[in-house]
A and B are shown apart, each in its own frame.
Chain A
Amino acid sequence: MTPSVFDPGLSFTEVAETGLSEIDGDTGELRIQGFAVEALAENATYEEVAWLLFDGRLPTDTELVEFTDELSDARRLTDDVYNLIRAGADEGVPAIDVLRMGLGAGNLYCDSEDTLAATRRVVASCPTIVAAYWRYRQGKEPVQPRDDLAHTANFLYMLSGTTPEKSTVDGLETYLTTIVERGLNASTFAARLVGSTGSDPLSAATAAVGALKGPRHGGALERTLELLTDLDETVDPTAVVRTRLEADGSVPGFGHAVYETRDPRAGVLERAAERVGEQAAERDGESRESKSLLSSAQQLETAAEEYFTTHEPTRQIHATVDYYAAVLLSELDVPPELFTAVFAIGRSAGWMAHYLEQLESETLLRPRTRYVGPERRQWIPRSDRGVGDDAGTPSSTDLTGISSVLSTLAEPARLELLLILYESAEPLSYSAIRARSSIDDKGRFNYHLRKLRSRYLTNTDAGYSLSDTGRRVVEMLLDDEQLLARTVEEAD
């Protein structure tokens, strides 16, 4: 009954076959249904890409007109849902939580039993919920959707109440199509998990929005914008990079790329931001502020690339898609409070396509756990219970540290890893430790190594070695006097 594999992040486990998108193993390029994402982002409307994800090919002229109409007919909410959104806005609840509430109440404006129609409803209604939330936040009434406007233009219209400029629509459309789909991130996987039980599209979308909310997933845009707005001509970008790295270990908007180049989507959004800036400058004569945001982003990126090449030559750190997304959205006057929610608006078609793919596979995703709790406990009547006697460990705070050390070490594999490092005079690379260890399974190996990493190991360019704490622990357990080993022998 013991599971054969332990892979807590599932980072070595393929859970599904998908026809939706693929990331090129050599270049890091993203292809959606076989199309390079650049080609879609430069050419397609959001409706076209959504259709592509749902139907596996580009729509014909007639199909596109029908689909655009279908979405525009599915935008409306009901009064009770508006009241819910208003309550969220009044209580200062973040936009992404209100999107969860609005979609969660979707049965009031959508028949969730009609699966295909409901997936379209989800895509169509996200912008209405987000825009209504923003209007209430401003103390204004929501703007009703306009049927003659397409998906992206209508969202901008509902936000501001005025018909948007074409260049603004194009800029946002590029953003939405660029981020519409990218394999199994946490939110998409949540949608598939819900689909795996045969549940409905609203439930899947609600779960995905809930996962997107986490700062691990959705919060990078806001952090990037904060970084960029703090820059001005008086600040040295290299110093900013260095300070951030030293303080937080990372620079917002920059990430460790799996591949050797920066994410091609960052380039798509950078070009879109350039176009929007140029057109705004043409229109208004001057648009100092947005131009300066893009140029300070570009300067910072150049400085960061130089810094990383010099100081972190072994790691591939580049601007992520979030970096230029923050610039573009801010040029388009999308309020930073809505950044994550606007990402959800774009990704919703990807979520729904993945949901349908999982639903059609009729495969329940039901993994296992490894039980690490106590063996059989005996029931103790309420009056006889003490705070500690039942759990076997006193709960006083000075002992929890010790017990956490012991619980981390109560695993032969981890002791083995500590010993391997203790016995080596030099720091060891990841593969060198793996080769010396008896743990065959890569997932298990990574897991145990990670458990030790924060406290017992240090990781430098030269490889892993024991931290002072790690060395002390090994010496305490296994020193010349063999204190622990002797105690165990005596007890046996």
Chain B
Amino acid sequence: MADRELHRGLEGIAVAETRLSSIDGERGELVIGGFPVEGLATRATYEESVFLLLNDRLPTAAELDSFRTELAGYRTLSEEVEQVLRRAARENVDAMDALRMGVAAANLGVDATEPTEPTEAREYAKRLVSVIPTIVATYWRYRSGDAPVEPREDLGHAANYLYMLSGDEPDPAAVRGLETYLNTVVDHGLNASTFVARSITSSESDLVSAVTGAVGSLKGPLHGGAPGPVLEMLLTVYESGDPEGYLQETLDAGERLMGFGHRVYRTRDPRATVLSGAAERFYADAGDEAFFDFVEGFEARAVSRLAEHKPDRPLETNVEFYTAVLLYGVGIPRELFTATFAVSRVGGWVAHCLEQMADNRIVRPLSVYVGDRGRTWTPVDEREATNSPKASTE
């Protein structure tokens, strides 16, 4: 059939219309809910960003108030899920696996009917946004040998997450830093996890299933959004005091320099710019300019070495670089970096699910068969191990 064509990575294929975000990779621009990311991230609370994505406009003061209250009411976990997280922490299960467990069972203890109806879906959207920080923090408390900290309804979304992690009321500068991060990465087109969420929704399934799928996909190493190794690198180089030596060695060995280069952006990732500004403010407040100065210096050297090394490939700072710096500053344990990305991105996931529901078409692509044909059945006692080679998948 002439119209069919193999597009292995789906590169350049658009599969959905969206109002949620728009990426211009050539110019290095990201628009979220109509706002340039730099105009939104430093001003909004996370609740405002989520309201924006769900309603296509900013909330009024009264709307924001009641939205915050609704979200805060959805934070608690059921007893069984808490037990599962405790076991996972005790067995050193990775944070993302623990998060998938918690999200997969997020409909336990919620008094609502089948979450496939549109109005119920909006309730589940709020439930998922609210419960993910509790899952991550509960897991982390158990992992650190402490009892979980009950969520506090009087705290905003970002502040409550920090509070549940540490048990102490967080510093406003840390809250602002985290809030800026959560707004910055809340949505980014159809990245792999968002596409999973939309595809699951396209079969008219529910939001809990869609977000569980998204969490499972975010965990994969090809997804991106794993800034842990960037932090390891920065701390090592900071300690050694020899950035030039590190860059030289890494590039000479033909290794990839973490925190640089992006699939879509040909420029510096606009989110890196927002997060660098937020990190600069945070570290200045905290009186730790030295580390931030080092980071900026390292970035500048790295970009110019990369330009010399690979003159034909634009390798600019990506979002992971300053994510590592900012999250480290505000006190997020590095084992939770990817899970904290999910704390933010769930806002985008659920908004995409609702968008898909509103104008749905089931996502069901084609495949090309490349295996053997015309085999016939042989009874088990007449078979030999080599009678037919494994079908080649190239």
Check A112 for interface membership: any CB of B closer than 8 A.
yes
Check B308 for interface membership: any CB of A closer than 8 A.
no
Shortest Cβ distance from A376 into chain B, in angstroms?
6
User: What count of chain A residues pass the 8 Å CB interface test?
Assistant: 122
Check A1 for interface membership: any CB of B closer than 8 A.
yes
Shortest Cβ distance from B181 into chain A, in angstroms?
18
- Point out the residues of chain A lying under 8 angstroms from B253, CB to CB: none
Binding site for A on B (CB under 8 A): 3-22, 24-26, 31, 33-36, 39-40, 43, 56-61, 63-64, 78-81, 83-84, 87-88, 91, 93-94, 97-98, 100-101, 103-105, 107-109, 114, 116, 189-193, 195-196, 199-206, 208-210, 212-213, 215-223, 263, 361-381, 383-385, 387-394
Interface contact A210-B100, CB-CB below 8 Å:
no
Interface contact A11-B364, CB-CB below 8 Å:
yes
Given A33-B375, A197-B217, A373-B22, does the pair A83, B192 have CB atoms closer than 8 Å?
no
Docked CA distance A19–B3 (Å):
22
Interface contact A105-B372, CB-CB below 8 Å:
no
Shortest Cβ distance from A6 into chain B, in angstroms?
5
Binds B, one of A183-191, A293-301, A320-328, A482-490: A183-191
Docked CA distance A104–B108 (Å):
14
Interface contact A1-B25, CB-CB below 8 Å:
yes
Given A34-B373, A385-B60, does the pair A16, B368 have CB atoms closer than 8 Å?
yes
Interface contact A10-B363, CB-CB below 8 Å:
yes
Check A261 for interface membership: any CB of B closer than 8 A.
no
Interface contact A197-B192, CB-CB below 8 Å:
yes
Docked CA distance A6–B199 (Å):
16
| Sample of 5 more A-B contacts, CB < 8 Å, known A203-B215, A216-B204, A450-B361 | A3-B14, A186-B200, A198-B223, A370-B17, A372-B17
Docked CA distance A142–B8 (Å):
44
Docked CA distance A200–B3 (Å):
34
Identify 16 residue pairs between A and B in the complex whose beta-carbon atoms are under 8 Å apart, listed by A's number. A55-B390, A58-B380, A91-B108, A104-B100, A108-B88, A184-B367, A190-B200, A193-B195, A200-B219, A210-B213, A213-B203, A361-B8, A370-B18, A386-B60, A387-B63, A390-B57
Binds B, one of A93-101, A233-241, A464-472: A93-101
Interface contact A13-B43, CB-CB below 8 Å:
no
- Point out the residues of chain B lying under 8 angstroms from A48, CB to CB: 380
- Point out the residues of chain A lying under 8 angstroms from B21, CB to CB: 371, 373
Beta-carbon contacts under 8 Å, A205-231 to B: 206-207, 209-218
B83: nearest residue on chain A (CB-CB)?
A80
Check A9 for interface membership: any CB of B closer than 8 A.
yes
Check A57 for interface membership: any CB of B closer than 8 A.
yes
B378: nearest residue on chain A (CB-CB)?
A58
- Point out the residues of chain A lying under 8 angstroms from B366, CB to CB: 10-15, 184
Check A391 for interface membership: any CB of B closer than 8 A.
yes
Contact pick for B209, options A100, A183, A371, A390, CB 8 Å: A100
Docked CA distance A97–B35 (Å):
37
Docked CA distance A87–B108 (Å):
7
Interface contact B387-A57, CB-CB below 8 Å:
yes
- Point out the residues of chain B lying under 8 angstroms from A350, CB to CB: none
Contact pick for B361, options A9, A91, A189, A198, CB 8 Å: A9
Q: How many A-B residue pairs have CB under 8 A?
A: 437
Shortest Cβ distance from A392 into chain B, in angstroms?
9
A209: nearest residue on chain B (CB-CB)?
B209
Binding site for B on A (CB under 8 A): 1, 3-22, 31, 33-35, 39-40, 43-44, 48, 55-61, 63-64, 78, 80-81, 83-84, 86-88, 91, 93-94, 97, 100-101, 103-105, 107-108, 112, 183-187, 189-190, 193-200, 202-204, 206-207, 209-218, 357, 360-380, 382-383, 385-388, 390-391, 442-443, 450
- Point out the residues of chain A lying under 8 angstroms from B220, CB to CB: 194-200, 203
- Point out the residues of chain B lying under 8 angstroms from A59, CB to CB: 380, 383
Interface contact B83-A31, CB-CB below 8 Å:
no
Contact pick for B97, options A17, A202, A383, CB 8 Å: A202
- Point out the residues of chain A lying under 8 angstroms from B81, CB to CB: 84
Interface contact B367-A34, CB-CB below 8 Å:
no
- Point out the residues of chain B lying under 8 angstroms from A450, CB to CB: 361
Given A15-B7, A83-B83, A199-B216, does the pair A371, B367 have CB atoms closer than 8 Å?
no
Interface contact B393-A187, CB-CB below 8 Å:
no
- Point out the residues of chain B lying under 8 angstroms from A442, CB to CB: 3
- Point out the residues of chain B lying under 8 angstroms from A378, CB to CB: 39
Given A366-B9, A368-B14, A372-B17, does the pair A194, B217 have CB atoms closer than 8 Å?
yes
Shortest Cβ distance from A348 into chain B, in angstroms?
15
Contact pick for A58, options B6, B189, B367, B383, CB 8 Å: B383
Docked CA distance A435–B192 (Å):
36
Interface contact B87-A80, CB-CB below 8 Å:
yes
Interface contact B192-A193, CB-CB below 8 Å:
yes
Docked CA distance A39–B213 (Å):
34
Interface contact B209-A211, CB-CB below 8 Å:
yes
Contact pick for B31, options A60, A64, A366, A376, CB 8 Å: A376
- Point out the residues of chain A lying under 8 angstroms from B57, CB to CB: 387-388, 390-391
Contact pick for B388, options A57, A202, A374, CB 8 Å: A57
- Point out the residues of chain B lying under 8 angstroms from A64, CB to CB: 380
- Point out the residues of chain A lying under 8 angstroms from B199, CB to CB: 186, 189-190, 193, 211
Docked CA distance A442–B2 (Å):
11
Given A371-B21, A373-B18, A376-B34, does the pair A16, B367 have CB atoms closer than 8 Å?
yes
